[in-house]
Structure 1
């Protein structure tokens, strides 16, 4: 099979870029393809518009600017495949999120969404980890959409590096857009009561501050992805609370994979991508109002907690990019073939 030359452009340093572009790109290199990285500051798009690109396919992760749309159109004219990826419904960005202001508020988000539709329709393939987002874009006229889950990097399974520690550590990994979920479900107050009731329990929050006034509460923010993974090695029970809403329906289940990769069991709301998961994957689903009771049970039932932690480790072993790399490879090859056939070019060796 012909090896592909793949251009990758994304906003590096974000979880979106990590799981949807950089991890797949690294795996494709392992499979013999070559990649080149493009900057999200507009320089990559300008290069496309002012030079003669020589690669086979461009993977654009959540690039939504006007110049990105222009670049996608030119690539299509040249017969170079465009694969556009998104893992967020930007229409549902809450006002509390820094992204809301950064994108220009309600009007800016509306304009950005209109551009995402144009880019997705221009692309030879749209990829997303969410069935909900896939259905939404198909309804908007995007013809070729592939659902590919978020998968961990090969080196992200780090539970072998756990160290024994006293007591039970509850972890809450939540970006700022989850602040509304945590407040509505009163997770901070719930965990305050847990700390007051159970000796030897501590809470580690990464991202959102739960506002707990207790010496056994720690809050960490502004961590790199590698630092997050190392911090999670301390966690025994990871929580993923959600409230129903448009943003929730587009979420992936990668947070549960991150907890499992650290060796922790997990508790999650039965919503979005978490629906249907459970003990086989190393965790439990928790209805609204059941968080305090379920956490208490996991703290006191050491045997069950240990069993779920073991199941989480078994499950996550099959959730790395090593298993999903062939899916990305197959989808990118199909996009290249589609692009070149539409441009009247035969894809040598692609069949």
Structure 2
């Protein structure tokens, strides 16, 4: 039982660490990858911190697409296609987006004081994801056309929660509250009826709370992400149809991730080459970034529809976007590999 609790705790920490840190260096540009970690003469500050800088950039570049998929998922409102049907109609739900991710291992990696040195972070499979709440509020029913309505409008809302954590060498704290709200809208192309499927296009903007993260590297060093801010903008085209209790949905869209942060490092004092002691370690900023990544998203789902309650699940795939090759390696994985995700949730609709 103790080992199970330990695995559960580590899994939760891995999810939170990825959630707060991964987008910091989303899709670094070729210029940032090559030149934002300059070296210098032996024992100079630039030479001492160059490896920490490069490892920070590579770690977050590798994690970015995984976090993106776990934030956005597929359908903006799980198990739903067309608009709700105007004023008086609303939907509230809880969902979790998870991916079979790849979590880099940092315990056996050390920071070099002799300039950047390639390391293999040898990632292990790890379930990564975030829980969220979502809501849709009907505003306009649409215009009657034949057996359906066209042009219905819903307002969309979402909320992410990121708690403070300090366990197993990882500490995470938010600086502007643990909850961040998202917002968007959905335009109904066709409202679902007994004969006509529901079809809609939607856009949703979601942010994570501003966070600071510290992660231990090796036995005494650490890398930090400070003033980390990340936002996502997603658009979707979705179609759905119910047949008695069973519902089907499918869709496609695009996700854009924007992020900015400062990366810093702590390098514990230790001897430099030739036995010359380092009088003090390094403790300060190593890089900053403001980057963007755009990915294509396709998905399909099933739902069980009871009076006022809908249980839904979906599976999808996020791919595309260009991430330059990293200096450090992650086994046989690449930062811009495609990732398959799954979503499950429950929704109450009136």
**Which structure features the higher share of helix residues?**
1
Which of the pair has the greater relative contact order for Cα pairs under 8 Å at 6+ separation?
A: 2
Q: TM-score, normalised by structure 1?
A: 0.22
Q: TM-score, normalised by structure 2?
A: 0.23
